[in-house]
Amino acid sequence: MSETELYQILKGCEEGQRREQYQLFQYLSPILMKVCMRYADSKDTAKDYLQESMVKIFKHIHAYQYKGSFDGWAKRVTINTILDILRKKGAVSKTISLEDIKEQHLQELNRGESELNYADAVQFINRLPDAKKIIFNLYAIEGYAHKEIAELLHITEGTSKSQLHKARELLQQMHTKANQKINLNEDVARTN
């Protein structure tokens, strides 16, 4: 979609035009669904998050000031909406999809003798305790700074940094244990 088309759709949404709202929903749904899936424990929950997010986007579309990426603004609204929902429930659960794990974050975990693949990384991240998992996701995958995480989660920057550090340590421990099991299995296979 061109910037001109998006601008026209946004202006129509500000005026409450149903056709433009539908077009914006069709445009944003695949983008925002990926974000929602990172925090949801099921596709149905992700759809609920998407629905709530779209309601907020339409309600506050006038707040977008046409500076920076609209997609980025919509993602931020979505993340804030999800965090509000999770805070109200007192629960933080999410899953990570393979395409969301950036190569640089795999390299951080690959300090051992063998390489960590994407599937293992997903499995390890999903095994993190909830607080560490969400901070790791916000920092390593969403690209938030510790100051932003602290504001979003109503914690201190120090707590965000500490939880991220502990998450990385746990991930490295999981990776090391997995390598040990693989090496043990290889040794057993060679002796048989």
Task: Give the model's pLDDT for residue 24.
Answer: 95
CA atoms of 118 and 87, how far apart (whole Å): 29
CA-to-CA distance for 128 and 141, rounded, in angstroms?
Answer: 15
The DSSP code for 36 is: H
What would the pLDDT profile of 106-155 be if each residue is shown by its tens digit?
Answer: 455 444 444 556 666 777 887 888 788 888 888 888 888 999 988 888 88
Q: Where are the alpha helices (DSSP H) in the chain?
A: 3-14, 18-39, 43-59, 70-89, 103-109, 118-126, 130-136, 146-153, 157-191
Q: What is the pLDDT of residue 52?
A: 96
For the chain, domain boundaries: 3-89, 98-191
Answer whether 126's CB lies under 8 Å from 133's CB.
Answer: yes
Q: In angstroms, rounded to a whole number, what is the distance separating the alpha carbons of residues 42 and 156?
A: 30
State which of 70-74, 152-156, 169-173 shows the largest mean pLDDT.
Answer: 70-74
Asked: is 3-89 a CATH 2.40.40.20 domain? The reply is no
Kindly tell me the burial class for residue 176, based on how many C-beta atoms sit within 10 Å of its own C-beta (0-12, 13-18, 19 or more): middle
Q: Is the pLDDT of residue 157 over 50?
A: yes
Give 50's pLDDT tier (boundaries 50, 70, 90).
very high
Which pair of tokens denotes residue 145?
């700074």
pLDDT at 159 over 60: yes
- CA separation for the pair 69, 20 (Å, rounded): 18
Instruction: Please state the pTM of the whole predicted model.
Output: 0.62
pLDDT at 78: 94
Lowest mean pLDDT among 34-48, 65-79, 90-104: 90-104
Higher pLDDT, 79 or 96: 79
Most confident of 14-23, 31-40, 76-85: 14-23
- pLDDT value at position 116? 57
Mean pLDDT, the chain, integer:
80
Let me know if domain 98-191 sits in CATH 1.10.10.10. yes
CA distance 81 to 54: 10
